[in-house]
């Protein structure tokens, strides 16, 4: 079964609101990666986290890797319509990249 779960499955927000997606793995991960897939497009790499408790920021996006290296989160501050898409976390289990179930974000202007 699916080893990497994400919640929520869908999120609809008003432009300017914040958004968070949570990623949970059934196993400890050596690293966690985040990808964004626009509607009709292919996944595009956003970031990789390696260290326990690591936090990285990319402009309005904040990524966090849990202390136990089994969970992660992506937080978007003040969403914009360009943030629309599906956000996937992915981790090597053990040496193959397994994708999470994804969270589809819709932003209304």
Partner 1 sequence: GAVVSQHPSRVICKSGTSVKIECRSLDFQATTMFWYRQFPKQSLMLMATSNEGSKATYEQGVEKDKFLINHASLTLSTLTVTSAHPEDSSFYICSAPAGTTDEQYFGPGTRLTVT
Residues that bind partner 1 (CB under 8 A): 2, 31, 33, 41-45, 48, 88, 90, 92, 96-102, 104
Least Cβ distance, residue 33 to partner 1 (angstroms): 7
Q: Are 8 and 21 in contact (CB under 8 A)?
A: yes
The token pair at 73 is 């989160």
Of residues 77 and 101, the one with the C-beta less far from partner 1: 101
Of residues 8 and 78, the one with the C-beta less far from partner 1: 8
Least Cβ distance, residue 108 to partner 1 (angstroms): 19
List, in sequence order, every beta strand (DSSP E) within 41-83.
44-49, 55-58, 61-65, 71-76
3-state SS, 30-46, equals: CCEEEEEECCCCCCEEE
Of residues 30 and 80, the one with the C-beta less far from partner 1: 30
């Amino acid at each position: 079964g699916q080893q990497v779960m994400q919640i929520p499955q869908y999120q609809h927000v008003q432009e300017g609101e914040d958004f968070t997606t949570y990623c949970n793995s059934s196993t400890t991960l050596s690293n966690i990666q985040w990808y964004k897939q626009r509607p009709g497009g292919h996944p595009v790499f956003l970031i990789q986290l390696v260290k326990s408790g690591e936090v990285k920021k990319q402009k309005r996006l904040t990524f966090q890797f849990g202390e136990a290296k089994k969970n992660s989160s992506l937080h978007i501050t003040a969403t914009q319509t360009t943030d629309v898409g599906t956000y996937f976390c992915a981790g090597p289990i053990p040496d193959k990249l397994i994708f999470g179930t994804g969270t589809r974000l819709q932003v209304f202007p």
